[in-house]
With several copies, the nearest count.
Chain A
Amino acid sequence: MGDLWEGLTRAVWLVLTLDPDLMEISARSLQVTLTALVIATAIALPLAALLSVRRFRWRRAVIAVLNALMGLPPVVVGLIVYVILSRSGPLGVLGLLFTPTAMVIAQVVIIVPLIASIAHQSLRELWQEYHDLLISMNVTQWQKISTLLWDGRRALLTASLAGFGRAIGEVGAIMIVGGNIDNATRVLTTAIALETGRGDFALALALGFVLIGLAVGINLAIHWLGRTEREGRW
C-alpha cells in the first residue's frame, strides 16, 4: 500500500516538475498511439460500414473472425511483426525494426479488429434504421458508407476511444518490435515494465498514474468537445 501512496506523490511530483524524461516518453507514447489510432480508424471504420451494408456470402464468417481477432494476443502480433521486419525477414531492408514506425504497425494490427467490431455493432443498428430509405434512393455503396459514418459519428467515438485505450496501454507487442530503447523507442508502458522489473514499484506506479491520467484526460476532453456540439438525440 505504501507503494501506491508513494507512487501517487511521485506521479504528482514528476508532472509538476515537468520531468524531462517523463515528458519525452509521454510525448512518444502519445505520438505513436495517435498515429496508430488515425491509421487504424481510417481502415476500420470504412470496413465496419462496408460489413454493415454489404451482403456477401462469407459476411457472417468475416464478422465472427473480426470479433475473434479482438482477442489477437499482442505478444503474438509483436512476434509476427518482428519476424517480418527483422533483417532476415521479407521487409528487413526497410530497417524499420526498433523504430516508432514498427510500434505503430503493431498497434494498428492490434486495434483495427477492435475498432471495426465495435463500430460494426452500432453501424449495423443504424443501417437497420436507414436501410429502407437508402435502398429506395438507389444510393451507391460508397454513399451508403459515408452516410452511415457521418450520421453515426457519435457512436463511432466509443469505438475509436476503445482503440485508443487499448493502444496506449499496450506493452507486449511494442516491447518486442520497439525494443524499449532509451531515447528512441521507450514509451510509458515499456518504461513501466522496466521499472517493475527493476523492483521500483513506486516509480512504475507513478508512471502508471501519469498514463492513466493521460488516457482519462484525453477521453474527457473528447467527450467535452462532443458535448459542445448541439445536444440532440444523436
Chain B
Amino acid sequence: RAAEVMRMAVTTSFHNSGLADVLLPQIAEDLDLEVQLLVVGTGQAIRLGEAGDVDAILVHSRSAEEAFVAGGYGTHRREIMYNDFVVIGPAADPAGLREAADATGALRAIAEAEAPFVSRGDDSGTHKKELSLWSDAGVAAEGDWYNAVGAGMGAALNTASGLGAYILADRASWLNFANKGDLDLVFAGDPVLFNQYAYLPVNPERHPHTRHALALTLEDWLTSDTAQVLIDGYTIGGETLFTFNADQGAGQ
C-alpha cells in the first residue's frame, strides 16, 4: 500500500488503452502514491472535477477543458500526450473507405453509401471530434444508417460489432478491444484525427480539501522523462499508441 492516495477522473478511452496499467505501478513506486482512477465519460469527469470529488482530471476535449479552467474549477491545463482517432468498419469495407484520401472524404463515403454508422452520441471527446469531422465534410449526420448509441467507447464498439457498422474510435481503445468480430481498421493517419490528452488539477481555492500538492507531484511525474519513456514505449501488437508531447518547461 502506498503512503498517499489521490483520485483522478479519466475518460474510458484512456483507461481502455491499458496505458494506466503501465503508468500506475511506476507512479506508486516512484512517488509512493496510489492514484485511484475514476473511469467515466468526459462530461462526467469534468463534473467530478467541478464538484471537487477528484483531485485532477485527464481528458481529451479541448473546449470543455478550457471552459473548466476559465470557470475557476481547475488551476491550469497541461498537455501530456496525444494519440489518434481511427475509423473502424466491416472488413469488407462496403463504403470503400480504404481508398479515401482524408478523414472528411472517408466520412463522405460512408454517408454516400448510407452504410451503417455508430456514433458515441454522448458528448465525449470522441463524439465531439466526430461531429466536427461531419461538419467539415459538409454532410448532415442523420438518417437510418446513423445510429447515435449514447454509450462509452467500449459499448459503442460492441454495438458497431453487432451491427457491422462503421465507427470513429481512438486507436488505443480499438487495439485493446477484444470483441472485434469482423471489424477492421479501415481509415487512419489524417493529422486532423490527432487526439490531445490534457491534465487538469482541481483548483484548491474552490475545494480546499483536494490534495493539490499530490496533484502537482503527479503532474511533474507525468511530464517527466520517465513518463515519456513509458508512454512512447507503450505498444500493443507492435503498434505505438501514444506520443508524449508535454512541454517539459511549462511545469509550475
Contact = CB atoms under 8 A, between A and B. Distances in A.
Task: Check A-B contact in the complex, CB < 8 A.
Answer: yes
Interface of A: 82, 86-89, 92, 95, 97-98, 175-176, 179-184, 186, 190-191, 193-194, 196-202
Given A87-B162, A183-B36, A196-B155, 19 more contacts: A88-B52, A97-B162, A98-B7, A98-B38, A180-B151, A181-B7, A181-B147, A193-B150, A194-B39, A196-B44, A196-B158, A197-B41, A197-B151, A198-B42, A199-B47, A199-B161, A199-B179, A199-B180, A201-B178
**Among all A-B residue pairs, the 6 with the closest Cβ atoms:** A197-B154, A199-B43, A197-B41, A199-B179, A194-B150, A199-B47
B50 to A, nearest CB: 8
A179 B159 CA distance: 6
Contacts of B181: 86-88
Given A182-B37, A184-B147, A201-B178, A86 B162 contact: yes
B101 to A, nearest CB: 30
25 contacts: A86-B51, A86-B181, A87-B52, A87-B53, A87-B209, A98-B36, A98-B159, A175-B155, A176-B158, A179-B159, A181-B38, A181-B149, A182-B36, A182-B37, A190-B150, A194-B122, A197-B44, A197-B124, A198-B41, A198-B176, A199-B41, A199-B44, A199-B161, A200-B43, A200-B179
Nearest to B146: A182
B51 A182 contact: no
Contacts of A200: 43, 178-179
A193 B155 CA distance: 10
Given A87-B164, A88-B52, A176-B158, A181 B148 contact: yes
A180 B34 CA distance: 15
Contacts of B207: 87
Contacts of A198: 16, 41-44, 122-124, 154, 176-178
A193 B163 CA distance: 20
Given A98-B7, A199-B180, A184 B46 contact: no
Contacts of A201: 47, 178-179
A199 B46 contact: yes
A208 to B, nearest CB: 15
B166 to A, nearest CB: 15
B22 to A, nearest CB: 14
B133 interface: no
Interface in B141-194: 147-155, 157-159, 161-164, 176-181
Contacts of B36: 98, 179, 181-184
B177 A86 contact: no
A191 B47 contact: no
Contacts of A193: 150-151
Given A86-B53, A87-B53, A98-B163, A175 B151 contact: yes
B53 A98 contact: yes
Interface string B1-44: 00000010000100010000000000000000010111111111
Nearest to B121: A182
